[in-house]
Amino acid sequence: DSARALRDGSDPATLVFQCAAAPAAAAPAAEPSPAPAPAAVEHVNLAGDALFATGQATLTPAARASLDKLLSEREDRTYTQVTVTGHTDSVGSDAANLALSKRRAQTVASYLKAHGLKAQSMSVTGRGAADPVASNATAEGRASNRRVEISLQR
């Protein structure tokens, strides 16, 4: 067998002989795990006069039917976070609209929870007339702005 000389870099006059097989090449570094995919978020908007009577936070029969449909379509799912946000049109004072929007969101959240929506955490917020999706100058626009948005994060 032939010996193989290698320099160790400490003294140019020193030789090191390796009498065994060459060291195995280092294994390539493992690829880093990809970042986890962001959690899927579903957004559901419930809007219009069918949800609540004007100035009220009591669900109408049509609103309960919409929520029951939402629940039946998602009965096999568990969510990490559910956020319910209430909105109003611009009729009335800012303070009254803010309070009403929060009561409406709380009504929807309570209904969802009482009827079996599985969520680790649920939050409720009211935005009043702050985030319109349509013009408040028309009846149709005001109806669109009176809404509850539900965000379901898995």
Q: Look at the block and give the residue holding tokens 């990490």.
A: 80
- What pLDDT is stored for residue 17 in this prediction? 39
- What pLDDT is stored for residue 99 in this prediction? 98
- What pLDDT is stored for residue 14 in this prediction? 39
- What pLDDT is stored for residue 33 in this prediction? 62
Which tens digit of pLDDT belongs to each residue from 75-90? Answer: 999 999 999 999 999 9
Q: Which amino acid is at 21?
A: A
* 100: three-class secondary structure by DSSP: helix
Strand extents, DSSP E, 19-104: 41-47, 78-79, 81-86
The tokens for 105 are 């969101």
Q: How many CA atoms does the CB half-sphere of 37 hold within 13 Å?
A: 5
Assigned fold of 41-153: 60s Ribosomal Protein L30; Chain: A; (3.30.1330)
The model carries a pTM of 0.72
Q: Which residues, in sequence order, are bridge partners of residue 86?
A: 126, 148
Interstrand relation of 122-126 and 81-86 (parallel, antiparallel or unpaired): parallel
Among 44, 48, 43, 42, smallest CA distance to 147 is for 48
Domain ranges of the chain: 41-153
- What pLDDT is stored for residue 15 in this prediction? 39
Low-confidence ranges of the chain (pLDDT < 70): 1-39, 49
- What pLDDT is stored for residue 130 in this prediction? 96
